[in-house]
Copies of this chain bind each other. A is one copy, B any other.
Amino acid sequence: MPKSREIHLVQRPTGAPTPENFALVEREVGDAADGQVLVQNLLMSVDPAMRPRLTAGQALDEPMMGGAIGRVVQSRLDGYAAGDLVSHRQGFREYFTSDGKGLNKLSPDPDLPLSVHMHALGGTGFTAYGGLLHIGQLKDGEQVFVSTAAGAVGSVAAQIAKLKGCYVVGSTGADDKAAWLRDEIGLDAVINYKVQPIRQALEEATPKGLDVYFDNVGGDHLEAALRRMNTLGRIPVCGFISGYNSGHSNVGNLSNIIYSRVMLRGFVAPDFMHLWGDFLRDMAGWLKDGKVKYQETVRDGIAAAPAALIGLMAGENSGKMLVKLAE
């Protein structure tokens, strides 16, 4: 009967989250009862979409929810055996029992590290893939801008656009990330928005305007992109990180969408689940061929999870932020 340590949200942040918002709680987890499995988590995801849930959605004094990969260590549930790997939303804890609801069996690709199933070959990569190709209706050779292009979603979106023969501009907030995007990923132009004013830099980087802006930021990035959109351009809106801590994010030139007949569309990955099979095939191939590269920032142990989330909001990560809970 293992002890499990888990992270609770104990108070809601106003502005950026702080360590005081979270607590590390230890509790007994029972053995698997009849019809249950006991799961030990191996790896958990830390992602920007968690921030709005801290304000509304995540219950107080309960374990936080989040994507994770675990291993079944006891099974009294048909269809599951000890040793099976499962992906699920019950991260931020070491162990849990489950009746199988919300568990998805994972058959990891033997030629790739397990962790890629938490980002490029998981929900993060799928968000980029469907957001760009389905919501954004990307066509080969178009003019593309991706914000937070060194992040877990943005880096995949930017690379898919490059694979489709597009001219791709990326923004990021640090010189080392900018160098990675330019030198390793081969983007056509890279903007460090903390050094270059985004509006002017984007104008200079997009002599042929923009057909697609993959938006992770909102706010000033979206305003800058709206000035550059070509006729019938598309803006898949994946995130609005500029507003997550403040709760608002002004956009002053939205009327531009009329003159250029631009579409903005908010989305989440479940909107295009019919593409999951295509995605797994395409992305596994790209990863094995080295055509999609990635970075990971891996923190160690459940106690490090709050700091990982706080650090993510401050841009401390390079690529996907993960917490490793067990081998």
Contacts and interface: CB of A to CB of B under 8 A. Distances in A.
Interface of A: 52, 218, 222, 232, 237-240, 243-244, 248-268, 271
Contact of A265 (B222, B256, B264, B271): B264
A257 B264 contact: yes
A266 B271 contact: no
A296 B313 CA distance: 55
Given A237-B254, A250-B252, 15 more contacts: A222-B254, A232-B271, A239-B258, A240-B254, A243-B255, A248-B253, A251-B251, A251-B252, A254-B264, A257-B266, A260-B266, A261-B267, A261-B268, A263-B263, A265-B265
A264 B236 CA distance: 10
Contacts of A265: 257, 261-265
Contacts of A268: 258, 261
Contacts of A256: 266
Question: In the assembly, how many copies of this chain are there?
Answer: 2
9 contacts: A218-B254, A237-B258, A240-B258, A254-B264, A258-B267, A261-B265, A261-B271, A264-B265, A265-B265
Contacts of A240: 254-255, 258
A254 B235 CA distance: 13
| Most B-side CB within 10 Å, residue of A250, A258, A259, A260 | A258
Contact of A238 (B250, B251, B258): B258
Contacts of A252: 248-251
A250 B249 contact: no
Contacts of A239: 258
A249 B259 contact: no
Contact of A262 (B232, B253, B266): B266
A255 to B, nearest CB: 4
A260 B264 CA distance: 13
Contacts of A257: 237, 264-266
Nearest to A260: B266
Contacts of A259: 52, 266
A218 B255 contact: yes
A92 to B, nearest CB: 21
Contact of A258 (B248, B255, B258, B266): B266
